[in-house]
A and B are shown apart, each in its own frame.
Chain A
Amino acid sequence: MIELRNVTKEFDDVTPLKDVSVTINDGDVISVIGPSGTGKSTLLRCINMLSAPTSGQIIVDGEDITEKGYDLNSVRKKMGMVFQSFNLFGHMTVLENIMQPQITLLGRSRQEAYDIAMDLLNTVGLSSKALSYPDELSGGQQQRIAIARALGMDPEIILFDEPTSALDPSMIGEVQSVIRMLAKTGRTMMIVTHEMDFARKISNRVFFMDEGGIYEEGTPKQIFEQPRREKTKKFIRRLTSLSYHIKDDEFNFEEMYDELQSYAEKLLIENERMSKLQLCFEEITLNNILERDEEEEKDVLVGIDYSEKSDVLVLKIRYKGEHFDLSETGNSLFDDVLEEKTTVLEDEVFPPEEPSKENPFAAYNNKITISFKWEEA
C-alpha cells in the first residue's frame, strides 16, 4: 500500500502538484489521464522519488520514504518503472538488461537471473532476441523488454510513464497487450496514458489530473461515461473551446476572425465549415441581435466548441432580452441547419448546462446552438 499525504512539487516556474493526497491499494490498476503539463508524470516520479516532492509525505508499507536519509535504493527495488523512451541500457544485450539488475541489486546468481530472464522473455514473446542489443530492436520490442526488465526485479508495483507515447501506432497494440496481461495477474500498477480506450478497459480506478492535482477520481465507468466536473467532461469528449463576450460597439471582430482562422488550422477543421459558422454568426449577432435596439444594453456571449471525438463544430450564442427566432429571418443560410436535428447531437456530445460558477452560459435566458457536421460530397 502506498499513501501520498499532502504531496506538493514545485519547480522554478510551475507547481504541477499542489497538496495531493491519495492512497494506492494493493492490486489497484490505476490509469492517470489528463491534459499535458498537469503533473501526471510528476506524480509518478514522486512516488518512486525520482523527483523528490517539495513537501508532503509518501508512505510505502508504513514507512515514510521522503524522510531524509531513507534508503531509497531499497524502496526503488520494490517499484518497477517503465519509461516513455524505454531507456534500455545500450551497452548490454537484451538478456543482460534483464539479468544484470537482478545480479547487482538482488544478489541472484547468474544462472538464477538467467532462468528468470528467459522466462520473462518468453512471456513477452521475445526470447529469440535475447542476444540482440537494444538498438537492433523496434520501439515496441524495446518497450516489452523494458517491462520484462522491471518484472525481473519482482516489484510490488509497476509505474508506467506513458509507455506507448513514443511508439508508432502499429506497435502500440503489442505493448498494450503485455500490460493488459499483467493487469489480469493482479499486480499493482499505475499507468500514465493518453490512450483512453486502453485506460478504460484495463484499470479499476482512473485519476483525471488537472489544476495541480487529482481533479476527479472514479471507476472507468464514472470517469468516461458520467464525468461530474467541467474539465473532465471537456477532456473526455476532447473539446476545444473559444468564447467571446460582446458588450459594446468596440468589440474587435477582426481579431476574433483571425483567432477562429488559426483555431481551424490547428484542429484541421475544413474551411467551408468554418466560413459557414462565421456567416451564421454574423447573420445572428451583427444583423439581428445587435441591430435590434440602439438603446438596449449589448450583452452577447459566443462560444465555439469543437469535439475531436465526434468531429462536431458547435456555435453557441447566448443573449439576454427578447427572444429571436431563427426561422423568422427568412435567410436561406439557416434552412439546412435547421432541418437537422441538432438537439439530439447536442445532448450526446455536449452536456446539458446546469447553472454553476464554472458555466457562464447558464446565466442567459436565450440561447441558440448550431452544430456543423462535415459531410463528404
Chain B
Amino acid sequence: MRKRSFSIIVCALLTISVIFGTVGIAFADEAPKAKNGLSKLEDLNGKNLGVQTGVLYEDLIKDDLEGEEWYYYKMPNDMIPALESNKIDAYLIEEVGYYAQRYQHPELIRMEESPGYCDFAVIVGNNDKQDRLFAEIQEFIAAKKADGWLDSLYDYWVKNWDPNTCEIKTIPETTGENGTVIIAIEGGYEPFSFESNGQFSGYDVEFMMNFCAAYGYNWDFQAMEFDSIAPGAVSGKYDFGMNIVVDEERAENSVLSDPYYRCDIVFVLESDQGDESGFIAKLQNSFNKTFIKDSRWRLFVSGIGTTLFITLASLLFGTLLGFAVYMLCRGGNRLANKLTDIVCFIIDGIPTVVFLMILAFIVFSNSHLSGAWISVLGFTLIFGCGMYDMLCVGCNAIPKGQYEASRALGYSDSQSFFKIILPQAAKHFLPIYKNDMVSLIKETSIVGYIAVMDLTKMGDLVRSRTYDPFFALIAVAIIYFILEGVLTAVVSQVEKKVDTQKRSPEKILKGIKEVEW
C-alpha cells in the first residue's frame, strides 16, 4: 500500500512539473530586446527562416540568399511561437496573413523590402464536373474583376481586417439546382477561411458562396491541412481547392483558374516592443480566448465526438474483423492464411497517414463516403490486422494438448475454441490489446489530413484563431489522456473477468448447494 501511494505521489509531481515546465516555456517573459537587427533581404544570409509547407514562397528568394536554412510549418500561426523562441529569425508569409497576425501580436513587424508577390488561384477538382466548373469559375472571376466586386471583397477582408467585426454580411441565396460542390479550404487561415460561431467565414468562403449562388450550386466547405488541398482536388475528391499559389509546375499538373487575388510576400520579424502584461493576466486571457470566446469549447466538444466516434467504431469493427478473419484462417485454409498474411503485411508496412490518404484520395476519391467513415474504415483495417496478430500469438501460446484433450473428451471444434482455448489465450493477448487500443486513439489524431474535424484538428482551428498554442494543446492532450484512461479501464475490467485464477471459492462453487468439505 505504501509503495502504491509513493508511486502516486511521484506521478503527480511529474505531471505537475511537466505542466508548469510547459507554462514556463510558453509564457516566459522575455525582456524587451532590440529586433535582431535584420532590416534588408541580404541580412538574411545564413539565418534560419520559416515558411509554411506547400506554399512555395521560398522559391521567390532562395536564389538570392546564401547559407540560409528553411524550416517548414504546417500552420502559418505556428511560426509566431517559433519566432518568439528564436528558433527562426524571420518567416515568410503573404502580406494579408501578416496583417491578420499583427492584430493579435502587435510585436510583429514586417521587413519593408519584399521578395516578391504571389498570385492565388482556385484549383478545379479532377472529376467529371471539371470542364464545366472550370469554365464557370473563369467566367465568374473575369466578370467580378471587371465590375470591381473582387477589389471591394479584398478591401473588406484583407486591407481593413478586424477579427472582431469581420463577418460575412449577407450570405447569398442559392437555388442549388445544379447540385453541390465540395470546396476544400484550410479552415484555420485568417482572413481567408476560419471558423467563426460554428460556421466557416472569410474571403475564400464569401467568394465561393457568391460563385455558388451565381451558378446555382449548394456549397459544402471542408477544412483540412493545407498540403492536402491540392492533392485532394487533383484526385477529384474535391471540386474546388482554395488559395493555391500559381506556379508553372502546378499549372501543368492541374487545372488552375486565373488568379483571384494577388498579394505581396513579406518577411516578418519580432520588434523590441515585447508584450508586458502579467503572467496571470496572460493565462486568463489565453484561457478566455481558447474556450470562452465565440463558445469555442463547442469546437472541442464536437472534436471529442468525432474522435470518439472514429475510435469506438474502429475498435468495434476492427475487433470483429480481426476475429472473423482469425476464425476463417484457424481451420488451416492455406489460401485464407496466405491472403491474410499478405494483406496484413501491406497494411502494417504503410505509415498510417499515408494509408489514410491513399484510401481518401485514391481508393475512395470518387465516392461519397465521408472522411470520418473513411477513417473508420482505415483504422478498422489497421486494428483488424493487429487483432488478428494478437489472436494468432495468443492462441498459439496455448499448448496443442489443450485442444486435443478437449476434442478427446467430446467437445466440438468450436466448443473447444470458445470454452478452452480462447479463455486462456485472452490472458495472453488482452495486455497487447490494451496497448494497441491506446495507440489507435493516439493515431486518430492524424485524420485532419483527410478533412475530418477531430479533436486535434479542432484544437488546431482554435489555435489558429487565438494565435496562442498553450491551452488548446494542453486541453487536447488532457482529453486524449482521459479517453485512453477510460477505455483502458474498461479493458482492464474484462481482463480481470478473464483471469479465472482470481475468483473466490464461492464463485467457483456457484449453484452447488450441498458442498461436502
Chain A contact residues, CB within 8 Å of chain B = 48, 50, 73-74, 76-77, 79-81, 83, 85-93, 95-96, 100-101, 104-105, 110-111, 114-115, 118, 131, 133, 146, 149-150, 153
Which of B401, B402, B409, B508 has the most C-beta atoms of chain A within 10 angstroms of its own C-beta? B409
B132 within 8 Å of A by Cβ?
Answer: no
- State A150–B415 Cα separation when bound (angstroms): 18
Partner of B411 from A48, A85, A104, A131 at Cβ < 8 Å:
A104
- State A313–B408 Cα separation when bound (angstroms): 44
Q: B500 and A104: CB pair below 8 A? A: no
What are the 7 tightest A-B residue pairs by CB atom distance, in nearest-first order? A87-B405, A77-B410, A87-B401, A81-B408, A76-B410, A110-B511, A114-B512
Q: A131 and B402: CB pair below 8 A? A: no
B514 within 8 Å of A by Cβ?
Answer: yes
B351 within 8 Å of A by Cβ?
Answer: no
Q: A101 and B401: CB pair below 8 A? A: no
B331 within 8 Å of A by Cβ?
Answer: no
Closest to A101 in B: B409
Partner of B410 from A74, A111, A131 at Cβ < 8 Å:
A74
- State A238–B415 Cα separation when bound (angstroms): 44
Partner of B407 from A76, A93, A153 at Cβ < 8 Å:
A76
Q: Which of B303-311, B418-426, B447-455 contacts A (4 or more CB under 8 A)?
A: B418-426
- State A48–B423 Cα separation when bound (angstroms): 26
Nearest chain B CB to A123's CB is how many angstroms away?
A: 14
B189-247 contacts to A, CB under 8 A, are none
Given contacts A89-B402, A89-B405, A90-B402, contact A153 B424 (CB under 8 A): no
Listed A/B pairs (30) with beta-carbon separation below 8 Å: A48-B408, A50-B404, A50-B407, A73-B412, A76-B409, A76-B410, A80-B408, A83-B404, A83-B405, A85-B401, A88-B405, A89-B424, A90-B424, A91-B424, A91-B501, A93-B508, A96-B508, A101-B409, A104-B419, A110-B510, A110-B511, A110-B512, A111-B511, A111-B512, A114-B509, A114-B515, A118-B516, A131-B505, A131-B508, A146-B405
Nearest chain A CB to B125's CB is how many angstroms away?
A: 57
Contacts of A88 in B (CB 8 A): 405
9 additional A-B pairs beyond A90-B402, A101-B410, beta carbons within 8 Å, are: A50-B407, A76-B407, A81-B405, A83-B404, A92-B500, A100-B419, A104-B415, A110-B510, A111-B513
Closest to A106 in B: B410
Chain B contact residues: helix, strand, loop or mixed: helix
Contacts of A85 in B (CB 8 A): 399, 401
B406 within 8 Å of A by Cβ?
Answer: yes
Nearest chain B CB to A128's CB is how many angstroms away?
A: 10
Contacts of A83 in B (CB 8 A): 401, 404-405, 408
- State A150–B409 Cα separation when bound (angstroms): 7
Number of A-B contacts (CB under 8 A): 80
- State A104–B410 Cα separation when bound (angstroms): 10
Partner of A105 from B399, B410, B510 at Cβ < 8 Å:
B410
Q: B411 and A87: CB pair below 8 A? A: no
| Mask: chain B, 481-517; 1 = CB below 8 Å from A; 0 = not | 0000000000000000000110001001111111110
Contacts of B427 in A (CB 8 A): 91
Q: A50 and B408: CB pair below 8 A? A: yes
Nearest chain B CB to A366's CB is how many angstroms away?
A: 55
Closest to A96 in B: B508
Contacts of A76 in B (CB 8 A): 407-410
Q: B415 and A133: CB pair below 8 A? A: no
Contacts of A48 in B (CB 8 A): 408
Nearest chain A CB to B423's CB is how many angstroms away?
A: 5
Partner of A87 from B402, B412, B514 at Cβ < 8 Å:
B402
Q: B505 and A133: CB pair below 8 A? A: no
Which of A79, A90, A100, A150 has the most C-beta atoms of chain B within 10 angstroms of its own C-beta? A90
Q: A89 and B420: CB pair below 8 A? A: yes
Q: B411 and A95: CB pair below 8 A? A: no
Nearest chain B CB to A52's CB is how many angstroms away?
A: 12
Contacts of B404 in A (CB 8 A): 50, 83, 87
Contacts of A77 in B (CB 8 A): 409-410
Q: B501 and A133: CB pair below 8 A? A: yes
Closest to A74 in B: B410
Contacts of A115 in B (CB 8 A): 514
- State A48–B405 Cα separation when bound (angstroms): 12
Contacts of A89 in B (CB 8 A): 402, 405-406, 420, 424
- State A96–B419 Cα separation when bound (angstroms): 12
Closest to B513 in A: A111
- State A149–B419 Cα separation when bound (angstroms): 16
Nearest chain A CB to B394's CB is how many angstroms away?
A: 13
Q: A73 and B411: CB pair below 8 A? A: yes
Contacts of A105 in B (CB 8 A): 409-411
Contacts of B408 in A (CB 8 A): 48, 50, 76, 79-81, 83
- State A79–B510 Cα separation when bound (angstroms): 29
- State A133–B502 Cα separation when bound (angstroms): 11
Contacts of A80 in B (CB 8 A): 408-409
Contacts of A87 in B (CB 8 A): 399, 401-402, 404-405
Contacts of A118 in B (CB 8 A): 516
Contacts of B402 in A (CB 8 A): 87, 89-90
- State A91–B420 Cα separation when bound (angstroms): 8
Given contacts A83-B401, A85-B401, contact A91 B423 (CB under 8 A): yes
Q: B409 and A153: CB pair below 8 A? A: yes
Nearest chain B CB to A190's CB is how many angstroms away?
A: 13
- State A159–B309 Cα separation when bound (angstroms): 55
| Mask: chain B, 381-418; 1 = CB below 8 Å from A; 0 = not | 00000000000000000010110111111111001000
- State A79–B419 Cα separation when bound (angstroms): 20
Which of A74, A87, A92, A100 has the most C-beta atoms of chain B within 10 angstroms of its own C-beta? A87
- State A149–B516 Cα separation when bound (angstroms): 19
- State A149–B405 Cα separation when bound (angstroms): 10
Contacts of A90 in B (CB 8 A): 402, 424
Contacts of B399 in A (CB 8 A): 85, 87
Closest to A159 in B: B408
Q: B514 and A111: CB pair below 8 A? A: yes
- State A150–B512 Cα separation when bound (angstroms): 22
| Mask: chain B, 137-174; 1 = CB below 8 Å from A; 0 = not | 00000000000000000000000000000000000000
- State A11–B415 Cα separation when bound (angstroms): 28
Contacts of B401 in A (CB 8 A): 83, 85-87
Which of A50, A76, A91, A146 has the most C-beta atoms of chain B within 10 angstroms of its own C-beta? A91
